[in-house]
Every structure is written in C-alpha cells, then in structure tokens.
C-alpha cells in the first residue's frame, strides 16, 4: 500500500465534499517485544498497528474521527461520519489547521532492531539480578518500536517521520523470610543498547535499594525538612506545573500564570527545555499533534517563563501566540553537586524515589504518600520508611529549590537530575 498516495487521495476527497480545511495523520508501528517472566526469558511477540486520524473544519465547525483499517470502505465510511457529525457541532472561530511549511522527512533512532542484542541484554539483566540480588523478584520487558508517520493538510503541509527506539521496563520487589518490600520499577527508552541495562538510569541502585526495604518503619514524629527527589518522583510534580498552569486547556481556565511571559515564576535554579530534536529524546516525535514541525525551546529560563505550551486551538482561543506548541521531550538542566553529596548536606529529611498522589487542587496544594523512600538524619540515610506522607504546594516547591545534582536520568522522553527541596512537611500517615 502506498500510504502517501492514500493520504493525498483521502485529503482530496474530504475537500471535494465541501470541507473548508482538512488534515490527516497516518501512523503505522511495528513492535517486537521480549519478556522476562518469573526471572526467565520466555516470550517473543510482534505487534503491528496502523491508524488514520481524519479532521475537517467547515463553517467554523470541527469534527474528527480515527480508523484502524485503511481499506476504501472503512475510510469512506469514516468520511461520511465526519460530515454527519459536523452538521450538529458547535461553531468556534478558534478551529484551524497548521499553515504551510516546507515538506520535510525526519528520521531518528534505530529503525532496525538487533534482536540478538535485545535477548543478550535481557538475559544479562536477569543473570545479574539473580547473582547480585537473590532476594529480588522481578519481571522485565524489552521492546523495539518502529513508527512511520505521515501528516498532511489542505494548506499543503506534507510531513513524514521514521522513528525507532528500544523500550525497557522492569518491576521488582524483595523478600526476606516473611517480610516483603513494596514494589518499585524502572522504565526508559533508548536509541541503542550499548550499555548493560543495570548501568542505565540508576537501575542497579533502585534494585539495591529494594533489598533494604523489606524492613521499614514510620518516622518517629512529624517534621518540616528537606526532600531529595530522584527524577522519577520529581518530574511528576513538574508535569503538574506544565499541565495545570502553562499549557493548553488550563490557560483558558485555572492557570496561576495567565499573562506572565518574561516574568520570574519559579526558582532561578530551574531551567526547563523541550528538546524533541535531540537524539537523547529518542521516543519523541518531530511532528506535533497539531501539524507543525516540532522545535527545541527553553520554556523556563532560570525561573523566567519564556513560552506557554499551547497547541493551535488553545493559542487561538486565548488570543496568545502559538510558539512551540504543547511540547515534548522535557529536559531540566542539571547542577554540579553529586547526589550523594546532596544527602550529606541534609540535617533532617527524606530521599524520595517516587510518590503516590492525586492531582493537586487548582491552587497547587497536594498531599502524597512517599514510596520506597528513606529517612535522612545528620547527612546519613538512617532507614527506609513506611506509612509516611508529604504535603505542600507545588508552586511553592518549585520556589524552594536548594540544589540539583550533576547526575541525570534520561528516559527517552524526559531528562532530569535529582532535586533538593527545602521546607516540606513530612507526617505519619
């Protein structure tokens, strides 16, 4: 099947039927997946998927539909459904499609998997876990994803992308007699498998920690102190800032920073970028969902807001300029302090790999359960904790940053250091 020809023919048919504007996103992916279950390599499966997203605008009304079959009957039926839906849709002048851009083809990552190396890395991981951490129970999955995307619209936009990368995920817990730890996990994408999995993204450290967490205890008393977040835990809070205060829908409703471009909104130690063009952001597309070529940009520069993350509709709706879209490939600039030295500087506090929480309220107030975490006293890790909560305000957190580590974790969709925050309230659950 000539997917490019199919895309152009489908676009022409929508315009011939009376659309004022139309766009198509066609995506096809192939995944090869290998699993370690009950500590043994035992499964290989291949998965192929395809989908086509169709959108039309007519009389300032918009309708969209997705199909998973690309035969003529299915596509024609979807187009008929579009034009039926648009008759009853509400008009909004904010609906639009991306303007003409130079036709472009992007390629990133490893498009052809090294199946032998995938198996070797998984077997190597399983053997090392069994040898170095015999008390740990674990499952693991490693996949190779190849994705082909075509985006076209009636303004002449014609974008194509081929993207390939490896995914790894492992969940693990430890058992010591009758005592069990809670589980923890690691997950990341990588353009290559040049290094053992255990050496990537603190995987070995997280597994070592789980072996200590079969015996935990609650903190002796409530206190206000420092929290050192490992990147997985910290980025969860950052995504709350991005999602709830400087991006898309919330800009029309509840943002705390509705007109703050060029103003300092967070701690000057924080610089946040989006870097979809970087090879390190191996799973991030160069084609945005609203039909633009994705670009690198600095969103927060030493605490100063430089860009809102608005897609085309949200920009039109709010009257703001669309500059970099909704964004992907988040990168926080690191500091210079080794993460273990950050622990040595804590009088009383917590080392937090991850949290469990609901969404903060519109004001940013939150309460979270500390998971797989440690109590720190006088610069030393004292013991793993249980039944412990943390509360505060997300925006205040990002104005109470003390330090950022030199080390980072790169998941393929975000890259971030350890971050030390002061004056968070820690309490018994």
Q: Each residue of 105-114: pLDDT tens digit? A: 999 999 999 9
Decide which of 249 and 334 is more confident: 334
Cα–Cα dist 348/339, whole Å: 16
Q: Taking the domains of the chain in order of start, what are their residue ranges?
A: 3-212, 218-429
pLDDT tens by residue, 396-414: 999 999 999 999 999 999 9
**What average pLDDT does the structure give for the chain?**
93
Which ranges of 149-251 does DSSP label H, i.e. alpha helix?
Answer: 203-212, 231-245
pLDDT above 90 covers what percent of the chain?
85
pLDDT value at position 255?
Answer: 83
pLDDT tens by residue, 208-222: 999 999 999 999 999
Cα–Cα dist 147/3, whole Å: 13
pLDDT value at position 249?
Answer: 62
Contact 129, 138 (CB under 8 A): yes
Residue 42, pLDDT above cutoff 80: no
Which superfamily is assigned to 3-212 in CATH? Answer: PmbA/TldD superfamily (3.30.2290.10)
Helices H / strands E in the chain, number of each: 8, 21
pLDDT tens by residue, 60-71: 999 999 999 999
Cα separation values, 7 from 57, 190, 404, Å: 17, 30, 47
């Amino acid at each position: 099947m000539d997917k490019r020809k199919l895309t152009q023919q489908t676009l022409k048919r929508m315009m011939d039927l009376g659309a004022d504007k139309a766009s198509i996103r066609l995506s096809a992916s192939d995944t090869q997946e290998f699993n370690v279950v009950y500590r043994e390599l035992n499964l290989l499966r291949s998965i192929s998927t395809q989908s086509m997203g169709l959108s039309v605008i007519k009389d300032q009304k918009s309708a969209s539909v997705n199909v998973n079959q690309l035969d003529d009957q299915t596509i024609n039926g979807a187009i008929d459904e579009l034009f039926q839906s648009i008759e009853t849709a509400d008009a909004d002048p904010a609906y639009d499609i991306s303007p003409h851009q130079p036709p472009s083809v992007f390629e990133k990552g490893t498009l052809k998997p090294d199946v032998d190396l995938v198996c070797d890395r998984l077997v190597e991981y399983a053997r090392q876990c069994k040898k170095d951490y015999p008390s740990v129970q674990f499952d693991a999955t490693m996949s190779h994803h190849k994705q082909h995307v075509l985006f076209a619209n009636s303004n002449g936009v014609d974008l194509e992308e081929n993207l390939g990368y490896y995914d790894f995920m492992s969940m693990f817990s430890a058992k010591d007699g009758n005592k069990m730890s809670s589980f923890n996990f690691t997950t990341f994408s990588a353009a290559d498998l040049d290094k053992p999995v255990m050496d990537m993204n603190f995987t070995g450290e997280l597994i070592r920690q789980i072996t200590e967490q079969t015996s935990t205890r609650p903190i002796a008393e409530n206190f206000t102190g420092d929290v050192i977040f490992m990147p997985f835990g910290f980025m969860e809070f950052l995504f709350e800032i991005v999602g709830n205060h400087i991006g898309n829908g919330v800009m029309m409703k509840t943002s705390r920073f509705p007109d703050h471009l060029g103003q300092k909104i967070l701690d000057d130690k924080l610089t946040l970028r989006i870097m979809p063009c970087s090879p390190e952001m191996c799973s991030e597309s160069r084609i945005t969902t609203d039909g633009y070529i994705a670009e690198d940009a600095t969103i927060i520069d030493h605490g100063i807001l430089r860009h809102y993350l608005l897609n085309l509709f949200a920009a039109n709706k709010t009257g703001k300029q669309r500059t970099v879209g909704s964004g992907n490939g988040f990168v926080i600039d690191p500091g210079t302090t080794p993460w273990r030295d950050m622990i040595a500087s804590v009088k009383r506090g917590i080392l937090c790999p991850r949290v469990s929480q609901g969404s903060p309220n519109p004001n940013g107030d939150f309460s979270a359960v500390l998971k797989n975490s440690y109590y720190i006293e006088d610069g030393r890790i004292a013991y793993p904790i249980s039944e412990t909560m943390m509360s505060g305000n997300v925006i205040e957190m990002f104005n109470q940053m003390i330090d950022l580590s030199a080390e980072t974790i790169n998941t393929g969709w975000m890259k971030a250091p350890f971050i030390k925050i002061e004056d968070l309230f820690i309490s018994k659950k």
